[in-house]
Amino acid sequence: MDTSIHPDLKSLLRLRYETHGFSLLPRQPVHSLLSGRHASRLRGRGLTFEELRRYQAGDDVRLIDWKATARKRAAHVRVFTEERDRPVLLVVDQRSPMFFGSQRTTKATAAAEVAALAAWRAIEVGDRVGAIIFGDDECVTIRPQRSRRTVLRICHELVRLNRRLSATGGTSPTIGLNDALQSALNVARHDFLVVLVTDYHGHDAETQSLATRLAAHNDVLAVLVYDPLGIRVPVSGHMRVSDGINSTEVPSGPAFAGRFEEEFRSHSMQIRNLLKSIRIPVLPICTHDEVPKQLFDALGRSS
């Protein structure tokens, strides 16, 4: 099977060797191509309280617990350690609108590659990782665990649902983006990193409400998968498109191309406003370029 159209398990397993030095929690803000110069910063791992002890020379005075100091009549500081465990939940779109690509691969396969890279990286740094993978009529929930077996299951389910996508499909999805977000809310109760990988097909007012609730107690990174042909069509030349059942000839000429691009910009503006209003950073991923390089360029490398 052509892995440029459908990934196989081996191709997702090989991505394990592409994760060295890659960080899902960048030090620099993540800038969105859709949100101009607006930047949001992921909170990163939190701090957990370890102990209350007497102040020692060199301690940060900002850590003095004044109530304890007054009660014990001696300066005391609160000591914190960085959280070692940060559950990662991948929410990955494998519905039929994602089965589109004009070069290299499809949006669905690019999304699967993003998810596999993120899963391998989470395990590499000692975090638990789980996933919600949703197709046209099925939503698979994998609870976060710190094990390679869990990553293997995530990769297996990505391959299985991806291979159900076909150019001869034509059925409308019965599972929507909002269904997946609701499932994410049921899993990610607090202090998760939720990585949402989709083209945002079917987003509406409820999407914003669900995303707001998800981001209230978790970090959310929105990965927007797109194909350049979905932004701009050729001005000249004939092109026929199909949804697997019906087909039509795409009009040629600058007038139609202009309207097509304007429609995409309007759609992008809606997504930008939705995510910017709740300070969720957006990471665009293009189907034309290698996914690991795009992630490294956008998120940087940890030292």
Percent of the chain clearing pLDDT 70 (strictly above): 77
Is residue 184 in some structural domain?
A: yes
**What is the pLDDT confidence band of residue 38, given thresholds at 50, 70 and 90?**
very low
What pLDDT is recorded for position 34? 41
Positive or negative, the CA dihedral 287, 179, 266, 224 is negative
What pLDDT is recorded for position 36? 39
pLDDT at residue 185 is higher than 90: yes
Is residue 169 in some structural domain?
A: yes
Percent of the chain clearing pLDDT 90 (strictly above): 49
Query: Are 55 and 160 in a shared domain?
Result: no
For 284, counting Cβ atoms within 10 Å of its Cβ (0-12 exposed, 13-18 middle, 19+ buried), the class is middle
Tell me the pLDDT tens digit for each residue of 42-88: 666 656 677 889 998 877 888 899 999 999 999 999 877 655 568 99
Average pLDDT, stretch 165-170? 74
Torsions phi, psi of 178, nearest 5?
Answer: -65, -35
Number of C-beta neighbours around residue 247 at 10 A: 9
Is residue 4 in some structural domain?
A: no
Tell me, what CATH number does 132's domain have?
Answer: 3.40.50.410
pLDDT at residue 303 is higher than 50: no
Pairwise CA distance, residues 32 & 276, whole Å: 10
For the chain, what is the domain count?
2
Is residue 101 in some structural domain?
A: yes
Better pLDDT: 148 or 256:
148
By the 8 A CB rule, do 292 and 117 touch?
A: yes
What pLDDT is recorded for position 274? 78
Torsions phi, psi of 135, nearest 5?
Answer: -110, -160
Average pLDDT, stretch 272-286? 85
First to last CA, the chain: 38
Is residue 75 in some structural domain?
A: yes
**What is the pLDDT confidence band of residue 40, given thresholds at 50, 70 and 90?**
low
Q: Which domain holds residue 71?
A: 48-82
Paired tokens of 266: 């309007």
Query: Are 58 and 105 in a shared domain?
Result: no
Rg (CA), the chain: 22
Q: Of 224-228, 278-282, 291-295, where does mean pLDDT reach its minimum?
A: 278-282
Domain end position, chosen among 59, 82, 105: 82
pLDDT at residue 143 is higher than 60: yes
Domain end position, chosen among 82, 101, 130: 82
Is residue 56 in some structural domain?
A: yes
Give the range with max mean pLDDT: 18-27, 110-119, 227-236.
110-119
By the 8 A CB rule, do 233 and 207 touch?
A: no
Query: Are 53 and 177 in a shared domain?
Result: no
pLDDT at residue 30 is higher than 60: no
Better pLDDT: 143 or 47:
143
Domain end position, chosen among 82, 105, 130: 82
Give the range with max mean pLDDT: 153-162, 201-210, 253-262.
153-162
What pLDDT is recorded for position 32? 42
Centroid of chain to Cα 296: 14
Is residue 282 in some structural domain?
A: yes
What pLDDT is recorded for position 152? 98
User: Model pTM greater than 0.85?
Assistant: no
Query: Are 59 and 186 in a shared domain?
Result: no
